[in-house]
Amino acid sequence: MMSVFKLPLAVIALAMVEEGKLALDQKIPIVESELRPTHSPIADAWKNGEREPTLETMLVRVIQDGDNTAGDKLVTLEGGGAAITAKLRAMGIDGIDIAEQEIEIFKRLEAGGNSDAAIEHEIDAPPNAASSDALVHLLEALEKGAILNKRSRDFLRETLAGTNTGKDRIKGWLPPGTRVEHKTGTGERIANDIGIVTLPDGQRFAIAVLASGDAAKESSIAKIAKAAWDRFNAGRKSVE
């Protein structure tokens, strides 16, 4: 999944807010050992003295920017990979398995010299794994209100709509201004994007594209999303 795994993390965090175990305005202390060297606005802010971001800030950054410090900290807050996977199962979400923080993946790749063999191993046997069907099921459950309350879902939808990454993926070939609530994932020879697209008449469809190897191109994801748009939009009356 790469950073796509951060969407299930956000879902579990919001469920814990609903249970009273966390709060959106709760400050989350971060220590230096939890900073991640990869892309992380939270780590950048930490170095400037902002060392206790709120949970809400962490969720926004983890979704919209793929923040790795925030993502790995959420894994800790939520009890680790096995606990997160169990919580997803309790929600009726099968086929999504979370085992570890992303830093573990980067450590293995680095130990393997970021070689083709090390990359292929991570692609073939990913610890944080999901099928595209399972991710669409997660999106469907959110859309239909089967998981999380309305306040949590509205917060998540607006956050996903503000995603800064992957502008040339699902959104790439769609008409300008199309609302896409999505989460991307990127790695060595991996390009992912999942989300919900709103058609001109207000109907919505979920899509998940997980691409690796030679298929891991943003244009491939854009092409698939446009084909889905054309299929679902066929015969519908255009709404200005």
User: Over the range 190-206, which residues count as b (16 or more CB within 10 Å of their CB) and which as e?
Assistant: bbbbbbbbebeeeeebb
Rounded to two decimals, what is the model's pTM? 0.94
Assess whether pLDDT exceeds 90 at residue 238: no
Task: Say which DSSP state 191 is in.
Answer: E
Mean pLDDT of 100-121: 91
Tens digits of per-residue pLDDT, 150-207? 999 999 999 999 999 999 999 999 999 999 999 999 988 999 999 999 999 999 999 9
Number of structural domains (the chain) is 1
Tens digits of per-residue pLDDT, 68-109? 999 999 999 999 999 999 999 999 999 999 999 999 988 998
- Is residue 159 a contact partner of residue 63, using CB atoms and an 8 Å limit? yes
Residue 70 maps to a domain = yes
Residue 240 maps to a domain = no
Residue 83 confidence (pLDDT) = 98
- Tell me the two tokens of residue 114: 């970021």
Residue 69 maps to a domain = yes
- Tell me the two tokens of residue 20: 């009273």
- Is residue 183 a contact partner of residue 4, using CB atoms and an 8 Å limit? yes
Residue 235 confidence (pLDDT) = 63
Mean pLDDT of 224-238: 85
User: Which residue type sits at 142?
Assistant: L
Structural domain harbouring 112: 2-233
The three-class DSSP label of residue 99 is: coil
Assess whether pLDDT exceeds 50 at residue 239: no
Residue 39 confidence (pLDDT) = 85
Residue 239 maps to a domain = no
CATH number at residue 220: 3.40.710.10
- 215: pLDDT confidence band, cut at 50, 70 and 90? confident
Q: For residues 74 and 68, give the distance between their C-alpha atoms in angstroms, rounded to a whole number.
A: 10
- Is residue 1 a contact partner of residue 126, using CB atoms and an 8 Å limit? yes
- 236: pLDDT confidence band, cut at 50, 70 and 90? low
Who's near 100: CB < 8 A, 6+ residues apart?
A: 75, 81, 127, 128
Mean pLDDT of 112-126: 90
Residue 81 confidence (pLDDT) = 97
Residue 82 maps to a domain = yes
- Outline where DSSP puts E strands in 36-159: 96-97, 129-130
DSSP β-bridge partners for residue 180: 197
Q: For residues 160 and 84, give the distance between their C-alpha atoms in angstroms, rounded to a whole number.
A: 20
DSSP β-bridge partners for residue 97: 129
